[in-house]
Amino acid sequence: MGYESLSIGINDAVAASFAVLSVAVFICLPIAAWGWLVYPLWRSGGLHGWITRGGGGRMHSTETGARRTPRPALVTFRDIHYSVKLSGRGRPELHILKGVSGVLLPGTLTAIMGPSGCGKSTLLDILADTKRVGVVEGDVRLNGEARGTDFRSTCAYVMQEDCCHSTLTVHETLWFVCALRLGPDERLELITRTMVDLDLAHVADTRIGDDVSGGLSGGQRRRVTIAIEILSGPALVLLDEPTSGLDAYGAQQAVATPPAVVAALRRFADRGRTLACTIHQPRAETFALFHQLLLIKAGETMYCGPVPDFLRGCGVACPPSVNLADVVVDLTHTKEADADADGAEQSVDLVARFAASALRRKIEDEIDSVELGCHPDLADAAASLEAPKEQEGARVGCCGSSGGYPTPLMHQVGVLVRRQWTLDTRNFGYQFTWVLNGFVLALNASTYLLVEQPPLSAQPASVYRDDMGCDPIEPSGRQGCVCHVPMDEAASNGQYNVGADATECGRAILASANAVFAFRGFLFLVINALFVNEAVFVPAVIADKRFFAREHGARAYSVLAWHLAWLVKLGLTAALKALFYTPCFYFIGQLRPAWSAYLAAALVTGGMGLAGSAVAMLLTTLVPGLGAATTAFGCAVLLYQNVCGFFLPIAAIPPYLTWLTWTSVFTYGYYAIVTSQQMFGSIELPGDTPART
């Protein structure tokens, strides 16, 4: 008399479809990724640069980017107003800027000064075309024309917060920027020139670091951030507090000493570029490096013009021993009425005096001349207008077509993948998670082998004999996949039917049931660990989104390139996890000794890892914030676990929720790895012949 094996009824097509999907991901994807990485480098002659230091010298051109003269940028802004709606019903709008006007001339360095909250950074955001909230009114023009879609390729905006990868060196950081923004026809000697200009050559091979791991100083990191933006040679450079976090010496440094922030900015302006930056109370030597001054008080223009003419225009005397910048800052601060009413009246009087001054009328006339096309600086811009248009026409975007990006799509993907790979190989915490996850999988397998079978008296099951034999044991409709032993016929008094044959039969059945329970529980823990471990990508993607926002805003690469780079990286990482994690649990857990079963387990390992990282990336894109994304990932894990058929049988799930089962990757991964093992083909009972399965 034979008895069928304890197995779950699974459609073989489910496991087959998962295997086909896994093969497509882990065979086709790495091959395609390798082609994406190698082909653009081979075509540009930069393949050898992958194994050289930073790839320097692999992209050639006829002239260095540092020596090329960009098209002059003449920026005018007239009557700029900015207001935001305050939260709460009935609350009025908050007006931050109130009719600010000015001109940024080529070859000049302009200082935008004023007290905190006066609107300096807001004006800079509007000029850089990055303000996305609130109401902006007024007119901003570049060389007499409205800003177009190519404005971001002309303007570089250095924000106040540093945004650098801590594990990259200075040279590597600039190399990746050069590879993304300048294209294969630019010579990378520009990197060396830029590092020399910003006094970074002596730390070229030093990792940037952070406040915890060390590395560069705060001033050096600030200069790296500036170098990233000015490396591509933009005609217009806007900087928000470039000297924040620096001491006075590091912010200026005399011309005879190695150049640093403001001194280097002055030299860039002397080469024909247009630069403007917000700055707070610089020292006298630093303030003397600026050509123009835009002074803002409570959202209104207090002064706009040459720095030497400031005192004469305002009618204010400055003693020789006093820093002119200190006088400027003091004039913008409204004193308390009971402390110094004259100071408040003088500050308001200067705003009204400038509004009625000849200098204000001169600025308005200058803006009019730019809009009419008769400004003298527009002649230089018109002379260099044709060449940039020819170069822009040769630019390629997605899939090599014209799209406004300096490099082709595949080149962007290759550079991004290489950068991500470099960051991962230098991230000790990320590497530690790999080792820890492998240890946990091995520990699960060891625990599975050490589980002792409990005695018969402790089993909540019923056994009985019928005609000197044992009835076939069918899977219970209420027990799911955990333990397929009927439990609804247990004696009410806790005693089992007696009889030697019945006892032997019960022991055999329960021992097999315990083995099935432990085995399937072990496999479920494996796929659960493989999926949950991908939660590490939640903070990684959120951190990378900061870099994406800046670099994509600077037209360094497209959204498609960013997503493809992450897809390639996740695919390659999943393939490596399949090679590294599978032996950790397969051989220690003494699973089925067959190559087909091992390959299926490896595919499931890689597939679960890839699915987990993909879900993490999806949730970080849809859900804002690290805490919310982490919570959403945990909820997704719980949902996938409960509907996969392990805890709750699929037949017990309400019909209107069964679609969740087939959208859960746990369902496919769990069923595929269980059916691939076939560890329990039959159950031998005393005195009977097992049936073939």
- At 569-611, the pLDDT tens digits run 988 998 999 999 999 888 888 888 888 888 888 888 988 888 8
Compute the mean pLDDT over every residue in the chain, rounded to the nearest whole number: 71
* Rounded CA separation 405/392 (Å): 9
Q: What is the pLDDT of residue 212?
A: 76
What average pLDDT does range 362-372 have in this prediction?
A: 74
Tokens at 215, concatenated? 């590395």
Residues 6+ apart with CB under 8 A from 523: 670, 673, 674, 677
* C-alpha separations of 581 from 265, 454, 640 in Å: 52, 30, 22
Mark 594-628 as b/e (b = at least 16 C-beta within 10 Å).
Answer: eeebbbbbbbbbbbbbbbbbbbbbebbeebeeeee
Residue 127, both tokens: 């000029």
Model confidence at 505, pLDDT cuts 50, 70, 90, reads low
Assess contact for 275 and 109: CB atoms under 8 A.
yes
Q: What's the pLDDT score for residue 455? A: 42
Q: What is the pLDDT of residue 310?
A: 72
- The residues pairing with 112 across neighbouring beta strands, listed in sequence order, are 278, 294
Which structure tokens are listed for 361? 């009328």
Q: Are strands 300-306 and 145-146 parallel, antiparallel or unpaired?
A: unpaired
CB atoms within 10 A of CB 131: 15
Q: Is 553 helix (H, G, I), strand (E, B) or coil?
A: helix
Span 51-58, average pLDDT: 35
Of the candidates 308, 366, 297, 351, which has an alpha carbon nearest to the alpha carbon of residue 77?
Answer: 366
Residue 545 has pLDDT above 80, yes or no: yes
Q: Say what the pLDDT of residue 110 is.
A: 92
Examine the pLDDT at 411 and tell me if it is beyond 80: yes
Instruction: Choose between 545 and 684: higher pLDDT.
Output: 545
What's the confidence (pLDDT) of residue 238?
Answer: 92
**Rounded-to-integer distance, Cα 134 and Cα 49, Å:** 46
The answer to whether 50 and 354 are in contact (CB under 8 A) is no
User: Over the stretch 623-678, which tens digit does the pLDDT of each residue have?
Assistant: 888 888 889 898 988 888 888 878 877 778 888 888 888 888 888 888 888 888 76
* Tokens (6 digits) for 541: 């993607």
Burial class of residue 206 (count of CB atoms within 10 Å of its CB; 0-12, 13-18, 19+): middle
Q: In angstroms, what CA-CA distances link 265 with 65, 233, 295, 423, 438?
A: 17, 12, 19, 30, 51
Contacts of 672 (CB under 8 A, 6+ apart): 14, 15, 18, 19, 600, 603, 604
User: Which has the minimum average pLDDT: 48-62, 63-77, 156-170?
Assistant: 48-62
Separation between Cα atoms, residue 302 and residue 102, nearest integer Å: 11
Task: Compute the distance between CA of residue 408 and CA of residue 417 in angstroms, rounded to an integer.
Answer: 14
The lowest-confidence range among 8-22, 164-178, 272-286, 646-660 is 8-22
| Residues in Cβ contact with 184 at an 8 Å cutoff, skipping those fewer than 6 apart | 44, 45, 46, 59, 407, 411
3-state SS class at 285: helix
% of the chain beyond a pLDDT of 70:
66
> What CA–CA distance (Å, rounded) separates 632 from 637?
9
444-451 mean pLDDT: 78
pLDDT at 648: 77
In tens, the pLDDT along 653-663 reads 888 888 888 88
Cα–Cα distance, 580 to 458 (Å, whole number): 39
Residues 14 and 672: beta-carbon distance below 8 Å: yes
**DSSP 8-state symbol, 187:** B
Reference 44, options 168, 193, 182; nearest CA is 182
User: Hey, CA dihedral for 167, 173, 175, 179, is it positive or negative?
Assistant: positive
- The contacts of residue 443 (CB under 8 Å, 6+ apart) are none
Host H or E run for residue 655: none
> Can you name the CATH fold of 75-384?
Rossmann fold (3.40.50)
Residue 387 has pLDDT above 80, yes or no: no
* pLDDT, tens only, 251-267: 554 333 333 678 888 88
Domain range annotation of the chain: 19-29+424-677, 75-384
- Give 181: exposed, middle or buried? Use CB within 10 Å, 0-12, 13-18, 19+: buried
Half-sphere exposure of 66 (CA within 13 A, CB side): 14
* Exposed e or buried b per residue across 132-167, where buried means at least 16 C-beta atoms within 10 angstroms of its C-beta: eebebeeebbbbbeebeeebbbbbbbbbeebebbbb
The residue-averaged pLDDT of 165-169 equals 88
Q: Would you call 83 helix, strand, or coil by DSSP?
A: strand
Quick check: helix, strand or coil at residue 40?
Answer: helix
CA–CA separation, 417 vs 265, rounded Å?
Answer: 33
Contact 667, 645 (CB under 8 A): yes
Residue 425 pLDDT > 50: yes
Cα–Cα distance, 166 to 164 (Å, whole number): 6
User: For residue 489, what are its two tokens?
Assistant: 């016929």
State the pLDDT at residue 30. Answer: 47
Highest mean pLDDT among 86-95, 139-148, 514-523: 139-148
Give the pLDDT of residue 337: 38
